């Protein structure tokens, strides 16, 4: 297992290039050199044999004339002349009987050798062969000698050591081997340098990019440079990182939405339970309050009632009225949206709520303005009383915040929805209270002036109708600005409502 890991770690792209390219190339070059040297060896051997043959033919004529005139000294001089060339081992002259006439660098032949020489002389043709002389392997070339009459008068033998051939070929082989080795080294160096220039540095940059991503730099991307394949690799790597980043973002977004849905579901469950509790409490308080109010009215009708008692009964009725309002808000909060939905014109809804609030004792001297949009006649589909109650709660909150100032109601189309804006010129909502505005029983009013259910009821009604309500960050009047958004009625719903 350790050896396997070591091999896997050591087996790099450079090592693969050496093993799979350079080594086969070196073996191929060595094989080609060997085949070439074999061919060269054969060619050189033939050439060296031709050199011996040329020397023999060159001295054939003077040796033949000297032998015919029986001038042995002249024969010897002719034989010695071949040594000036420096390529001959020995030269021999034999008569027709195979007897040695003259020899330079040679030994006398044996009886068996004389018989063979006599046979070669009688054949009268040139012959070349390898033989052993004084323990040395030599190449001998035999050429017949003829007199002026054309008769064979003897035999000329010129020899050359075979080691001369071998030494020369060995020298050529060494030079060829060195040349092949040098060529292999040069090619290897060029391949490795080319690998470094064309592939290695780009792979190093890609590895550096991977290391940066691994270190946490998720926004880093590899540079697409180098050969086409490496550019494609870098591009695919960048696309993979982009895909992973998109998948992570989608996962985070999905987790965020799931968390919001879980919070909304939990909030809905809490609100539903709170609504049932509120409805039960309101129902239980309604009957005792009615009894208290009725008894107070009967007490006030007593003609003998003293002024302090009359004042006390009126105070009781005032508090009972306030408690009745709280009970009504509890009932509104816990009441489901029963009843028939129908088409409502937003302009009529706004006018009814505005007129009702201006005529109410709770107006507190505030001025209520409404600003119709350019596209009038906008309609929504919903429960008339519930939508009127939601808008009333928003207007009442604005009146309380304006404290005798200005309240403005605007409406208009926003995409496929109808939005109603209710704003005031009051002090606005503190930043720390904005996140809890729509929680049940949360109020910014002083104790005894609010139950904290008004905006919670608006929020519930908006959700019943597929809309939403939110506090906007800015208001043209400088106070708070609430936006109630509801789905706009389409043409088919308008036609059904008109029919």
Q: Look-up: residue for tokens 């030494």?
A: 167
Closest-CA residue to 471 (of 445, 434, 439): 434
Average pLDDT over residues 261-279: 69
Domain membership of residue 27 (yes or no) is: yes
Domain membership of residue 118 (yes or no) is: yes
Is the predicted pLDDT of residue 339 greater than 50, yes or no? yes
Using alpha carbons only, give the angle 407, 334, 497 rounded to the nearest 5 degrees. 65
Is the predicted pLDDT of residue 419 greater than 90, yes or no? yes
User: Residue 162's pLDDT band (boundaries 50, 70, 90)?
Assistant: low
- Which of 141, 171, 201 terminates a domain? The answer is 171
Lowest mean pLDDT among 173-187, 347-361, 370-384, 434-448: 434-448
Residue span of the structural domain in which 52 resides: 13-171
Interhelix angle for 162-195 vs 23-68, to 10°? 160
Domain membership of residue 461 (yes or no) is: yes
Is the predicted pLDDT of residue 481 greater than 90, yes or no? yes
Is the predicted pLDDT of residue 444 greater than 60, yes or no? yes
What gap in Å lies between CA 481 and CA 426, rounded to an integer?
Answer: 10
Helices then strands (H, E): number in the chain? Answer: 13, 12
User: Residue 210's pLDDT band (boundaries 50, 70, 90)?
Assistant: confident
Decide which of 251 and 216 is more confident: 251
Is the predicted pLDDT of residue 491 greater than 70, yes or no? no
- Residue 418: its pLDDT value, please? 93
On whether the CB atoms of residues 400 and 445 are closer than 8 A, the answer is yes
Domain membership of residue 259 (yes or no) is: no
- Residue 409: its pLDDT value, please? 93
On whether the CB atoms of residues 128 and 142 are closer than 8 A, the answer is yes
Radius of gyration of the chain (CA): 61
- Residue 63: its pLDDT value, please? 83
Q: Is 101 exposed, middle or buried (0-12, 13-18, 19+ CB in 10 A)?
A: buried
Lowest mean pLDDT among 244-248, 309-313, 392-396: 309-313
pLDDT tens-place string over residues 130-147: 777 666 677 888 888 888
What gap in Å lies between CA 397 and CA 404, rounded to an integer?
Answer: 12
Domain membership of residue 405 (yes or no) is: yes
Is the predicted pLDDT of residue 494 greater than 60, yes or no? no
Domain membership of residue 134 (yes or no) is: yes
pTM: 0.45
On whether the CB atoms of residues 467 and 485 are closer than 8 A, the answer is yes
Number of domains comprising the chain: 2
- Which of 155, 171, 187 terminates a domain? The answer is 171
| Backbone φ/ψ region at 364: left (φ over 0), alpha (ψ -120 to 50), beta | left
Cα(first)–Cα(last) distance of the chain, in Å?
A: 85
CB atoms within 10 A of CB 492: 8
Interhelix angle for 454-464 vs 228-300, to 10°? 120
- Residue 408: its pLDDT value, please? 92
Domain membership of residue 101 (yes or no) is: yes
- Please enumerate in sequence order all residues whose Cβ is within 8 A of that of 71, keeping only pairs 6 or more positions apart, or say none: none
Domain membership of residue 204 (yes or no) is: no
- Which of 129, 154, 171 terminates a domain? The answer is 171
CATH number of the domain where residue 483 is located: 3.30.565.10
Average pLDDT over residues 328-351: 74
- Residue 342: its pLDDT value, please? 87
- Residue 24: its pLDDT value, please? 83
Decide which of 197 and 279 is more confident: 197
- Please enumerate in sequence order all residues whose Cβ is within 8 A of that of 128, keeping only pairs 6 or more positions apart, or say none: 49, 52, 53, 139, 140, 141, 142
- Residue 499: its pLDDT value, please? 47
CATH number of the domain where residue 73 is located: 3.30.450.20
pLDDT tens-place string over residues 50-86: 888 888 888 888 888 888 887 878 888 887 777 766 5
Encoded tokens for 303: 């003609």
What gap in Å lies between CA 477 and CA 459, rounded to an integer?
Answer: 23
CA neighbours within 13 Å on the CB side: how many for 342? 11
Lowest mean pLDDT among 67-71, 150-154, 333-337: 333-337
3 state SS of 390: helix
Percent of the chain residues topping a pLDDT of 90:
9
Is the predicted pLDDT of residue 100 greater than 60, yes or no? yes
């Amino acid at each position: 297992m350790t050896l396997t890991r070591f091999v896997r770690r050591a087996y790099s792209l450079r090592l693969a290039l050496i093993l799979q390219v350079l080594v086969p190339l070196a073996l191929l070059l060595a094989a080609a050199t060997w085949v070439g040297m074999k061919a060269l060896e054969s060619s050189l051997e033939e050439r060296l044999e031709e050199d011996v043959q040329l020397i023999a033919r060159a001295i054939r004529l003077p040796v033949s004339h000297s032998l015919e005139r029986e001038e042995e000294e002249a024969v010897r001089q002719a034989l010695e002349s071949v040594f000036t060339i420096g390529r001959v081992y020995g030269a021999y002259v034999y008569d027709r009987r195979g007897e040695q006439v003259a020899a330079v660098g040679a030994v006398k032949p044996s009886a068996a050798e004389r018989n063979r020489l006599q046979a070669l002389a009688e054949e009268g043709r040139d012959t070349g062969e390898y033989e052993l002389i004084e323990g040395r392997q030599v190449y001998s070339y035999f050429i017949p000698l003829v007199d002026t009459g054309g008769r064979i008068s003897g035999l000329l033998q010129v020899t050359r050591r075979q080691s001369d051939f071998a030494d020369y070929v060995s020298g050529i082989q060494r030079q060829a081997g060195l040349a092949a080795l040098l060529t292999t080294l040069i090619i290897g160096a060029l391949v490795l340098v080319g690998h470094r220039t064309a592939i290695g540095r780009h792979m190093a940059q890609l590895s550096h990019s991977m290391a940066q991503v691994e270190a946490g730099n998720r926004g880093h991307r590899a540079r697409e440079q180098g050969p086409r394949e490496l550019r494609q690799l870098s591009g695919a790597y960048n696309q993979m990182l982009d895909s992973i980043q998109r998948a992570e973002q989608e996962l985070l977004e999905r987790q965020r939405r799931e968390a919001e849905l879980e919070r909304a579901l939990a909030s809905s469950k809490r609100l539903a339970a709170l609504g049932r509790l509120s409805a039960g409490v309101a129902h239980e308080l309604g009957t005792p309050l009615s009894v208290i109010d009725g008894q107070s009215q009967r007490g006030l009708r007593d003609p003998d009632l003293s002024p302090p008692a009359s004042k006390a009964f009126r105070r009781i009725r005032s508090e009972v009225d306030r408690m009745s309002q709280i009970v009504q808000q509890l009932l509104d909060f816990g009441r489901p949206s029963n009843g028939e939905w129908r088409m409502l014109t937003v302009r009529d809804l706004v006018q009814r709520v505005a007129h009702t609030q201006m005529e109410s004792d709770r107006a507190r001297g505030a001025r209520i303005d409404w600003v119709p949009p350019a596209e009038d006649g906008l309609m929504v589909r919903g429960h008339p009383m519930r939508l009127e109650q939601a808008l009333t709660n928003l207007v009442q909150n604005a009146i309380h915040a304006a404290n005798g100032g200005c309240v403005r109601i605007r409406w208009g189309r926003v995409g496929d929805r109808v939005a109603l804006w209710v704003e005031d010129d009051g002090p606005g909502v503190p930043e720390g209270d904005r996140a809890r505005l729509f929680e049940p029983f949360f109020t910014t009013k002083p104790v005894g002036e609010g139950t904290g259910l008004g905006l919670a009821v608006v929020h519930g009604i908006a959700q019943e109708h597929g809309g939403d309500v939110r506090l906007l960050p800015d208001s043209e009047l400088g106070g708070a600005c609430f936006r109630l958004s509801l789905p706009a009625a389409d043409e088919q719903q308008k036609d059904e409502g008109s029919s």
